[in-house]
């Protein structure tokens, strides 16, 4: 009787062969009719025992693209050194192909350190890997690819999941003024981003008035350190993993142009500041030629009448909560632009 068997990662079809070992690829064995499925599993387990490692150093396949991912790749590359404990044996890189002569940071780093590079979409190489690592990759991995790794695929995600699931967690943390964020090491699951079980999670206090670029740099270093700690004790970490909470989940969609617009009549000063620090601007400068409210104002009029500090009536409400609001004139003879200023508590603006 010829049995062809493929193990999938869905709950209904996972085959646990030992405490931390899963059958993850198609195998074929000829079994007598008298043997049952238990006999078959024992044969499979025996055949795979020599191929699945129980401890470091690991054979790693790394998926990544940007500068955030480079920090984790850097520490994985360094950990191949026996003097550093040798957590990694070999490492292959999967990244985006070169488009219009532009290389992503991960590809540049891999070339500089003579690492083997595979273009995405991946053509599976004829070699064995123990675990995959995904850092800021942005592509959904199929179930059949995930199941090729006995220990699955780990993801370094810069947020405290389930908060900020998605491709832009750092941007949304700054945009929404989060006081605390962090990094999560989780296992990838197919079909959806950032929903897998958590192996490790650490909080990080967001520095005052930091930009998304600055916060991303801090979290990339923290994530790299957490990744190595996880790999050092991988079987134990997988055994003690926890599913994500069902409450508190928020999404962090990609940044788009519409997010950069400022609505002066609806956003507070604090919200505008968070937007500025989240998106960032070249040289820290913002320019404009004119502003349109109920009528058109020149840039000079906007500064002299709409923003100028001397024309503001101070309020008991903190400045970060002030709103710019169009003010309807009560007297036809009053044409000064100062009337466009209106504080959050409807305080009147004094004419000068």
User: Secondary structure of the chain in the HEC alphabet?
Assistant: CEEEECCCCCHHHCCECCCCCECCCCEEEECCCCCCHHHHHHHHHHHHCCCCCCCCCEEEEEEECCHHHHHHHHHHHHCCCHHHCCCEEEEEEEECCCECCECCHHHHHHHHCCCEEEECCCCCCCCCCCEEEEECCCCCCCHHHHCCCCCCEEEEECCCCCCCECCCHHHHHHHCCCCEEEEEEEECCCCCCCCCCEEEEEEEECCCCCCHHHHHHHHHHHHHHHHHHHHHCHHHHHHCCECCCCCCCCECCCCCHHHHCCCCCCCEHHHHHHHHHHHCCHHHCCCCCEEECCCEEEHHHHHHHHHCHHHCCCCCCCHHHCECCCCCCCCCCCCCHHHHCCCCCCCCCCCC
> Could you tell me the CA-to-CA distances from 65 to 98, 114, 263, 322 in Å, in that order?
11, 17, 34, 40
Residue 302 CA: distances (Å) to CA of 152, 209, 278, 334: 57, 26, 24, 17
CA dist., res. 347 & res. 75, Å (int): 56
Cα-Cα-Cα-Cα dihedral sign, residues 305, 309, 314, 319: positive
pLDDT at 348 over 70: no
| Max CA separation in the chain (angstroms) | 102
CA distances, 319 to each of 286, 291, 314 (Å)? 21, 22, 9
Please tell me the distance from the alpha carbon of residue 206 to that of residue 167, in angstroms, as a whole number.
Answer: 19
pLDDT mean over 18-34: 37
- Residue corresponding to tokens 């970060």: 320
pLDDT-based confidence at residue 278 (cuts at 50, 70, 90): very high
- Lowest-confidence segment of 23-37, 284-298, 324-338 by average pLDDT: 23-37
Query: What does the mean pLDDT of the chain come to?
Result: 78
Comparing 5 with 289, which gets the higher pLDDT?
289
What is the per-residue pLDDT for 112? 97
pLDDT-above-70 percentage for the chain: 66
**pLDDT band at 305; cut points 50, 70, 90:** low
Would you state the pLDDT for residue 269?
A: 85
**Average pLDDT for residues 200-216, to the nearest whole number?**
97
Q: Assess whether pLDDT exceeds 80 at residue 68.
A: yes
Residue 336 pLDDT > 90, yes or no?
no
Please, which pLDDT band fits residue 3 given cuts at 50, 70 and 90? very low
Does the pLDDT at position 291 exceed 70? no
Spatial contact of 165 and 195, defined as CB atoms under 8 Å apart: yes
Q: Is the pLDDT of residue 248 over 70?
A: yes
- pTM comes to 0.72
Query: How is residue 73 written in tokens?
Result: 């790749």
Which pLDDT belongs to residue 51? Answer: 74
Position 317 scores a pLDDT of: 66
Least confident segment among 13-27, 148-162, 229-243: 13-27
> Residue 90 has what pLDDT?
96
Task: Look at 7-11, 158-162, 279-283 and tell me which has the smallest mean pLDDT.
Answer: 7-11
pLDDT class of 133 with cuts at 50, 70, 90: very high
Task: Give the best-scoring range by mean pLDDT among 76-80, 257-261, 305-309, 317-321.
Answer: 76-80
CA distance 213 to 319: 26
The two structure tokens encoding residue 223: 């994530």
Residue 166 pLDDT grade (very low, low, confident, very high; cuts 50, 70, 90): very high
Lowest mean pLDDT across 100-109, 133-142, 265-274, 335-344? 335-344
Interval 259-282 mean pLDDT: 84
Q: How confident is the model at residue 259 (pLDDT cuts 50, 70, 90)?
A: confident
The yes-or-no verdict on residue 49 having pLDDT over 90 is no
Peptide bond into 57 cis (omega under 30): yes
- Identify whether 121 is preceded by a cis peptide bond (ω within 30 of 0): yes
How much is the average pLDDT of 294-321?
A: 61
């Amino acid at each position: 009787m010829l049995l062809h068997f493929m193990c999938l990662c869905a709950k209904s079809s996972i085959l646990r062969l030992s405490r931390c070992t899963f059958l993850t690829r198609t195998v074929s064995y000829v079994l007598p009719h008298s043997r049952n499925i238990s006999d078959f599993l024992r044969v499979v387990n025996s055949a795979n025992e020599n191929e699945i490692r129980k401890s470091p150093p690991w054979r790693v396949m790394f998926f990544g693209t940007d500068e955030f991912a480079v920090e984790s790749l850097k520490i994985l590359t360094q950990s191949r050194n026996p003097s550093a404990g040798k957590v990694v044996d070999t490492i292959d890189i999967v990244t985006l192909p070169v488009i219009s002569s532009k290389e992503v940071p991960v590809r540049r780093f891999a070339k500089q350190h003579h690492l083997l590079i595979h273009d995405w979409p991946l053509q599976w190489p004829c070699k064995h890997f123990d675990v995959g690592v995904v850092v800021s990759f942005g592509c959904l991995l199929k179930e059949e690819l995930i199941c090729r790794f006995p220990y699955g695929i780990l993801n370094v995600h810069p947020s405290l999941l389930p908060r900020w699931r998605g491709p832009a967690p750092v941007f949304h943390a700054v945009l929404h003024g989060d006081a605390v964020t962090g990094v999560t090491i989780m296992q990838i699951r197919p079909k959806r981003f950032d929903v897998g079980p958590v192996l490790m999670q650490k909080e990080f206090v967001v520095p005052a008035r930091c930009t998304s670029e600055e916060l991303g740099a801090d979290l990339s270093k923290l994530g790299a350190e957490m990744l190595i700690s996880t790999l050092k004790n991988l079987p134990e970490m997988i055994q003690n993993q926890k599913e994500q909470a069902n409450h508190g989940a928020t999404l962090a969609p990609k940044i788009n142009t519409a997010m950069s617009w400022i609505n002066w009549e609806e956003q507070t000063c604090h919200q505008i500041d968070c937007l500025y620090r989240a998106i960032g601007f070249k040289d820290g400068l913002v320019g404009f030629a004119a502003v349109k409210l109920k009528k058109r104002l020149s840039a000079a009029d906007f500064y002299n009448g709409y923003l100028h500090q001397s024309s503001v009536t101070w309020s008991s409400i903190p400045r970060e909560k002030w709103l710019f609001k169009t003010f309807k004139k009560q007297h036809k003879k009053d044409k000064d632009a100062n009337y466009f200023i209106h504080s959050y508590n409807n305080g009147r603006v004094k004419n000068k």
